[in-house]
Chains A and B, each alone.
Chain A
């Protein structure tokens, strides 16, 4: 049973480009969470999605960031017009349902903006 898969593991973008990070949850999990770890900081909640629904996006920056979790396929975190401050590790986690206990994390996608 594969765990949470994130890709790419490493992504380099120039300022102004777009970054797309993908997350495939564990089999049977329909809830996905995205967290960001800025350099020298802890994990910060960004967004919580269920299939085709955004449940909580209170941690998402108001501009340039969006997330989706379509009926088919992985969840995608999209960052438009990246800036150097977006350089961070982005972690995805999944759970089988809401309020169902532990989250299962992927190994993260590390974005570097030049």
Chain B
């Protein structure tokens, strides 16, 4: 069982603030790192799938970086909006079947 840690566990920011979260995972047997966004009462939705060390991906105001050698990824949100409020999950893919092991998530609340 992989040890995937996300911090902080929860976060409240004001509208317009920029913020970032951390995902730590074992660097051995790494295949890919997924980020998902999960709004209450909805299903998790993929944000990024990253595979290469040094990868940086961006979607609108959200971006992510990946360091596979030290086993961490950062997710950044620039100019947070209330609609960004959700739980952000990271999940490394590993094992022979590349199944995902999810972290417990960072719950973001953006206050208007």
A44 at the interface (CB under 8 A from B): yes
A11 at the interface (CB under 8 A from B): no
Are A42 and B89 in touch, CB under 8 angstroms? yes
A101 at the interface (CB under 8 A from B): yes
Question: Given known contacts A43-B102, A45-B99, A102-B34, is B43 in contact with A91 (CB within 8 Å)?
Answer: yes
Question: Given known contacts A42-B89, A106-B43, is B49 in contact with A101 (CB within 8 Å)?
Answer: yes
List A contacts of B99 (CB < 8 A): 33, 45, 48, 56, 58-59
Distance between Cα atoms of A74 and B34 in the complex (Å): 26
Interface bin, chain B? 20 to 34
Are B96 and A107 in touch, CB under 8 angstroms? no
Q: Nearest Cβ distance between residue A109 and chain B, in whole angstroms?
A: 11
Are B89 and A43 in touch, CB under 8 angstroms? yes
Q: Nearest Cβ distance between residue A4 and chain B, in whole angstroms?
A: 7
From A35, A41, A105, B104 is in contact (CB under 8 Å) with A41
B59 at the interface (CB under 8 A from A): no
List A contacts of B31 (CB < 8 A): 99
Q: Nearest Cβ distance between residue B53 and chain A, in whole angstroms?
A: 18
Q: Nearest Cβ distance between residue B38 and chain A, in whole angstroms?
A: 9
Distance between Cα atoms of A63 and B111 in the complex (Å): 45
List A contacts of B104 (CB < 8 A): 41-42
Are A42 and B43 in touch, CB under 8 angstroms? no
From B42, B93, B95, B103, A107 is in contact (CB under 8 Å) with B42
- Could you show 26 A-B contacts with beta carbons less than 8 Å apart? A4-B43, A33-B99, A33-B100, A42-B102, A42-B103, A43-B102, A45-B100, A48-B97, A48-B99, A55-B97, A56-B96, A58-B95, A91-B43, A98-B98, A99-B31, A99-B98, A102-B34, A102-B46, A102-B49, A103-B34, A103-B46, A103-B100, A104-B46, A105-B45, A106-B43, A107-B43
